[in-house]
Amino acid sequence: MNELQYGYIKRNLEFSFQAKTSRGEIKTHAAYLVYAFHPSNPTLKGWGEASPLMGLSIDGTDNFEEQLSTILAYFNEGNSPLSVDLTSFPAVRFAIETAQLDLFNGGEQIVFDNTFIYGKSIPINGLVWMDSIDNMLVQAVTKIQEGYTCIKFKIGAHDFDVECKMLEQIRKQYPADRVEIRLDANGAFAPDDAVLKLKELARFGIHSIEQPIAPRQLDEMEEVCGKSPIPVALDEELIGLDPEEHGAKLLKFIKPKYLILKPTLLGGLGMSAKWVRKANEHEMDWWATSALESNIGLNAIAQWTAVQKTSLPQGLGTGNLYTNNIEGPLLAKAGALHFLPQNAWKLPHPELD
């Protein structure tokens, strides 16, 4: 494994719309497409992706590219990735892991032998991005009309009563037995009134809410999880934690209903699998969510998800976000992510970029 050589190509992914998040509007997202090859056959490459989110990933720093270049140069000197502690670089670990898996499986973007690549689609939620209330309603209705039966709203940016009216409008048209609603507060609620807000939101038949209060408030989150009528899912709370060292204690104390697994933020597929095992031990469910990766990262997460035992809608509908994504067989349509082998991958060429 330490005989492999590594390189990367940077691509600034351009959003096809105004992408507004709890951390402000983003127009581009830097994707670092990492490739691995053996010197005896340099034309055969395996691909991974390191695309940390600024302001959220622990390796989302201004000098990330410099750090990535230094790490890959160290590997290219003959040092094994296994000899390096990449805890502080979860996106790099994800990229190296998937590039190796792809290479060892023939360099055809097959990370695992799984049902997804043979035609079994993965159910996904339709994401409603932060925007004006009117535009969020339009997004939601459009997704439902396209065939999505699970809709996820980002909330916390508008007045709470206005957001409640938005959900009420959706529920008047689409009852809970027809459309599942998930919420993501991104830690927007204050601990002292979070439970009151969750009780108010519960009347709209909400499936779950992600991270109602900001992470690292363990006592407050434990109380919220215990009193909330809406099942709580942990998201940002997991970032930077080792599932073996901290995961068991965290889950036993807070007792969430769900975990949100983002391999780019958690340190790869292997680390995400450890969180799955911890969730199973505590009888909790989970779903995987992309972190705005290009189709290379999304493909790896989807294939990993396909080998897990889960039937919940996943957060993997981000492939259509960009005007310059890596073209390939992934297609999000009618509430599912599909793999269309007739749509060949159009991968970058390192020697040309």
Q: Tell me the C-alpha distance between 32 and 290, whole Å.
A: 15
Identity of the amino acid at 157:
A
In sign, the C-alpha dihedral spanning 94, 65, 58, 183 is negative
Report how far Cα 112 is from the mean position of its chain's Cα atoms.
18
Is 228 in contact with 196 (CB distance < 8 Å)? Answer: no
Burial of 92 (0-12, 13-18, 19+ CB in 10 A): buried
Q: What are 64's two structure tokens? A: 């990330």
Q: What are 188's two structure tokens? A: 């927007």
Residue 295, SS3 per DSSP = helix
Q: Is 257 a catalytic residue?
A: no
Q: Is 274 a catalytic residue?
A: no
Identity of the amino acid at 87:
T
What's the first-to-final CA gap in the chain, in angstroms?
26
CA distances (Å), origin 321, targets 17, 29, 169, 221, 343: 8, 11, 26, 32, 18
Q: Tell me the C-alpha distance between 343 and 346, whole Å.
A: 9
Q: In what order do the strands lie in the sheet with 336-339?
A: 122-123, 336-339, 330-333
Q: Tell me which of 154, 197, 257, 278 is the catalytic residue.
A: 154
Pair type for strands 122-123 and 336-339: antiparallel
- To which residue do tokens 């082998």 refer? 341
To the nearest 10°, report the CA torsion of 278, 283, 288, 291.
-60
- The contacts found for 161-164 with CB under 8 angstroms, 24 or more apart, are 162/133, 163/133, 164/200, 164/201, 164/204
Q: Tell me which of 45, 143, 152, 262 is the catalytic residue.
A: 262
Q: Which residues contact 351 (CB under 8 A, 6 or more apart)?
A: none
Active site residues: 154, 262
